[in-house]
Structure 1
Amino acid sequence: MTDYRRLYVKGAMWFFTVNLAYRYQSTLLVDEINLLRESFRYVKERHACTINAIVFMPEHLHCIWTLPDGDADYSTRWKLLKSYFSRGIPKGEHISHSRTKRQERGIWQRRFWAHLIISQKDFNSHVDYIHWNPVKHGQVKYACDWPYSSFHHYVSRGVYSKDWGHSGEFVIDGGE
């Protein structure tokens, strides 16, 4: 068994990627967008954090959170969010033997990707990545056409122009 360790920094800003268990050929997150948004509200009411940027894709999501000073526990927030969402989905998904033994649903991948944001450049790059994601995955031609994103909030604040992120015109650092 792998000794899996996470970094925890109180009051830090984090970029996360969270995936469905069976990521490909699923649209569950956008099909159940109201439940997903409700899940985020549920968690924020119990464990405050700032959501700096977010995008909900059909089968995964990316977001940036800032935790309150003195608080480093993002894992509890993700556990609550995944549990709340899962309880709202009718049973019927494939559940592996190991998940059955642990009495787990088969909706989410067990783990998630967490990256500590270390600078303004790092933050800007991840916010761009989040808002570019629907274009990158071929969901829309323009970032503004994807309704499940904080992109529109950033446009209203003047951070982006509405036509930012046209397919074929934007390249994220590193060529991704």
Structure 2
Amino acid sequence: MTTLLAFTVLVALVGLERVAELVVSVRNAAWSRDRGGVESGLGHFPFMVVLHTALLVGALVEAWVRRPDVPSVLAWSMLALVVASQALRWWCIATLGRRWNTRVIIVPGLAPVTSGPYRLLRHPNYVAVVIEGVALPLVHAAWITAVVFTILNAGLLAVRIRTEDAALATLPQQETSDA
């Protein structure tokens, strides 16, 4: 298998992982809404969907059009970061349980989760997103996609984190075991 074909398979697998996330997200968002969950940040959500889709498409298009030479050390080190970012993302999903979704939905009365990766970082899922946004395209030296995504994602995350922090500030501050 050529490295370009292997990269295409990797991006397709990440795309399938995104579909799995969406299935979990839709189910969990419904759970939150059934418990009186209030959604914030509706304005930035469509941009987030487009940007994250563009990361996958852009990486593939750039790799197939530019067909760059990819040093093995770059490919393998970035692949390791992609795998690590997926592990961190799913640790976040598992820790938040039913409260995790791709939207900002706050269930009144449930305190913010402070266990798992959240005991170390306030927004560990966004760390995973940042790492993946750089590492996935660089598995096949798609540096233009990595740079463009990183710049646009920085602006998005500034809005997203501000929105999420404001929503979380409305909750009681002790963690509950209800997840």
Shared fold per TM-score greater than 0.5:
no
Question: Greater strand percent: which structure?
Answer: 1
Q: TM-score, normalised by structure 2?
A: 0.30
Question: Greater helix percent: which structure?
Answer: 2
Q: More relative contact order in 1 or in 2 (CA 8 Å, sep 6+)?
A: 2
Q: TM-score, normalised by structure 1?
A: 0.30
